[in-house]
């Protein structure tokens, strides 16, 4: 008896289908160039107004003299910025050293870091017209308000600087060029993890001492008790400064410093305001 054959067993095996070659990987799309928002690059006040970011992002910003904030600019402030910035304003761009003698007609110059809305600055300028005040801040409404106050009061001893005062001190002011430095009610950065952002620190004092003339005074004021204690500690320990109070500690508010808006707000809350006046050592 013959064996039955499986008809499929005699058929030749089909050759495997050739595999398609893998498609080449597509080249990665080039990254789009970063385009900063218009408010970072274009002034709202035309080519004569304050620049949005005058120093750019290439400068060291670990410690800054300000906390950025955006607020509404009133019509009168905008008008002052458009008309007066070209005469009484300057951008802190880090690209030049200022000729303070020319800028202030030979007057001794005091730098004020952070002036709020400028009322106290205008009062001090009016009370002492023989001293120039270089007032630095980034708060646009305050810049416009101070320019308007200066025009109204005929205060030609004020110049408004827009940008980071650290860059102004480090790159735009000559050594020993300042007759004084005022820092009134700086941001206290109350949270412990933010204390490193406080302005009054040893490295800032070292920089400030190089720009203050020997014997010139650094005047700080704050209504935040822990910050006042830190200021007193670091100023007392710094080798370039000495307390103008012989017995040490805080100083009474000098007559030339008017009450500021921030001070009034602090007093309303029951805060105690501390003034610190430290002189740059002459040796």
The DSSP output letter for 251 is B
Query: Comparing C-alpha atoms, which of 110, 118, 158 is closest to residue 137?
Result: 118
* Three-state secondary structure call for residue 231: helix
| List 53, 156, 187, 275, catalytic entry | 187
Q: 227-255 in b/e burial notation, b at 16+ Cβ within 10 A?
A: bbebbbebbeebebbbbeeeeeebbeeee
Query: Comparing C-alpha atoms, which of 282, 274, 256 is closest to residue 133?
Result: 256
Calpha distance 178→213 (Å, rounded): 6
* Three-state secondary structure call for residue 27: coil
278 within 8 A of 239, measured Cβ to Cβ: no
Residue 119 in tokens: 């009322």
Task: Provide the H-helix boundaries in the chain.
Answer: 38-41, 75-88, 100-103, 119-127, 140-153, 165-167, 202-211, 225-237, 261-268
Q: What angle do CA 210, 212, 213 make, to 5 degrees?
A: 105
For 1, 83, 170, 185, 279, the CA distances from 188, given in Å and listed in that order, are: 108, 34, 22, 8, 22
Q: Is 187 a catalytic residue?
A: yes
| Length of the chain measured in residues | 283
- Residue positions annotated with a catalytic role: 187
């Amino acid at each position: 008896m013959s064996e039955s054959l499986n008809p499929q067993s005699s058929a030749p095996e089909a050759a495997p289908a050739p595999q398609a070659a893998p498609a080449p990987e597509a080249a990665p799309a080039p990254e789009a160039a970063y385009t900063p928002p218009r408010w970072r690059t274009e002034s709202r006040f035309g080519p004569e107004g304050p620049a949005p970011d005058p120093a750019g992002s290439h400068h060291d910003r670990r410690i800054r003299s300000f906390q950025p904030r955006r607020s509404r600019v009133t019509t009168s402030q905008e008008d002052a910025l458009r008309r007066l910035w070209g005469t009484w304003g300057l951008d802190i761009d880090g690209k030049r050293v200022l000729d303070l003698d020319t800028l202030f007609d030979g007057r001794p110059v005091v730098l004020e870091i952070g002036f709020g809305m400028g009322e106290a600055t205008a009062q001090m300028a009016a009370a002492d017209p023989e001293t120039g005040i270089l007032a630095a801040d980034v708060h646009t409404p305050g810049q416009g308000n101070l320019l308007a106050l200066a025009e109204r009061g005929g205060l030609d001893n004020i110049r408004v600087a827009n940008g980071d005062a650290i860059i102004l001190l480090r790159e735009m002011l000559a050594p020993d060029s300042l007759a004084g430095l005022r820092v009134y009610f700086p941001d206290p950065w109350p949270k412990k993890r933010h204390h490193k952002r406080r302005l009054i620190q040893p490295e800032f004092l070292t920089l400030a001492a190089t720009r203050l003339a020997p014997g010139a005074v650094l005047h700080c004021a704050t209504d935040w008790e822990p910050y006042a204690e830190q200021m007193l500690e670091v100023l007392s320990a710094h080798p370039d400064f000495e307390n103008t109070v012989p017995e040490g500690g805080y100083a009474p508010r000098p007559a030339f410093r008017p009450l500021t808006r921030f001070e009034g707000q602090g007093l309303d809350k029951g805060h105690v305001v501390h003034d610190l006046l430290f002189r740059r050592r002459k040796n």
